[in-house]
Structure 1
């Protein structure tokens, strides 16, 4: 369990062996979080985000509202747990970027993280993104979450690259990273293609960054 964006606790996929290595209290928290996120995605997908009340969600998992709010800051957060898993894992990995051209390192780390999350996570992520576009409040929440990711990544890049606060390049790199992911993932989510295609799309999206800068407008 790691501290995610905006100080929220987030959970990345964990094997049962790794789960058993955790203290009992942490295992219970993790299982409750998983149960709430799974129920939220299922119920919101079946009935619509706005049609499912928080009371119905916590009843389905047999926990209290206070337990829910100790786990998630809002109903929207439970709905986008797959996205939170992605960026929490990425931010942790981005803090240890390898040497080399920054944009290439960001691409490699993002690809490695996504590959490690695996096809099951990919199914949940695709379902999450299909859900997000059906509810304006979810779309706004996801956009705000992504902005928080960009801010954290900007700070990590400034520190890793040894650049001052007024240098705009870390911010540009952070936004290029999330934009490349958005382009790759959006096309994949609605394509029905296998999980491996997502990894290929990430590489192509990052390659398009350099390629787009070489384009010239002709009269």
Structure 2
């Protein structure tokens, strides 16, 4: 189980720290059990029995069995939304969004890269998990778009924040997919370099034309 070790965690009231420990225990057990036995083959009863909590405690912590399975994904985008909320935008917005994302990845727990790789590999084995993750990512894109529109004081219906939100998640997906395929080879630093490269490729991709062939 991941330990509650960050300064932010230690500053929380005892009750909140206990909730966080329970959440991490459930997520860690879910990832391990779903990987070993299969997502569909592992029942919620088996999961809560291993962690020694009730089903009601589980549903106070996660909205669904699928949510516990993709906690590493949720951690990433929850942290991203918080960082975006607290960040004062200046300059090229897409560059700012890339910098925020890299900063978030840098600040995640030491065991997050391994958990993320395991999570993405698990998702590929279960169509229900893949669908749940896609739904979660679409919701994140909308929240990013809404937050950008608010920060930039853009009118309702302006498509630019939605485009930027989807470019951000797409660049992440491309970078992370290749990294996951290697089993996370090169660690967090290689992932960050891949994210940088994916974002750098966006302008050239938009300018690609048949005439140049490049």
**Band of TM-score, shorter chain:** over 0.9
In the other structure, the counterpart of 2:158 is 167
| Runs of 4 or more above 4 Å deviation | none
In the other structure, the counterpart of 2:35 is 45
Deviation of 1:118 (Å):
4.8
In the other structure, the counterpart of 2:50 is 60
Number of corresponding residues: 208
Output the TM-score relative to the length of structure 2.
Answer: 0.93
Q: Is the Cα contact below 8 Å between 1:91 and 1:153 reproduced in 2?
A: yes
1: CA distance, partners of 2:8 / 2:148:
30
Tell me, yes or no, if structure 1 residue 19 matches structure 2 residue 17.
no
Deviation of 1:17 (Å):
4.7
Aligned alpha-carbon RMSD (Å):
1.6
Q: Match for 2:78 among 72, 88, 92?
A: 88
Q: Is the Cα contact below 8 Å between 2:4 and 2:21 reproduced in 1?
A: no
* Cα distance change, pair 169–26 in 1 and its aligned pair in 2 (3 A): same
Q: Secondary structure at the match of 1:88?
A: helix
Q: Is the Cα contact below 8 Å between 2:90 and 2:96 reproduced in 1?
A: yes
* Cα distance change, pair 16–118 in 1 and its aligned pair in 2 (3 A): closer
Q: Which runs of 5+ in 1 are unaligned?
A: 1-11
| Larger RCO (alpha carbons 8 Å, 6+ apart) | 1
1: CA distance, partners of 2:82 / 2:31:
25
Q: Match for 1:117 among 100, 108, 112?
A: 108
2: CA distance, partners of 1:20 / 1:149:
28
* Cα distance change, pair 205–16 in 1 and its aligned pair in 2 (3 A): closer
Deviation of 1:204 (Å):
0.6
Output the TM-score relative to the length of structure 1.
Answer: 0.91
In the other structure, the counterpart of 2:191 is 198
1: CA distance, partners of 2:147 / 2:181:
32
2: CA distance, partners of 1:204 / 1:78:
31
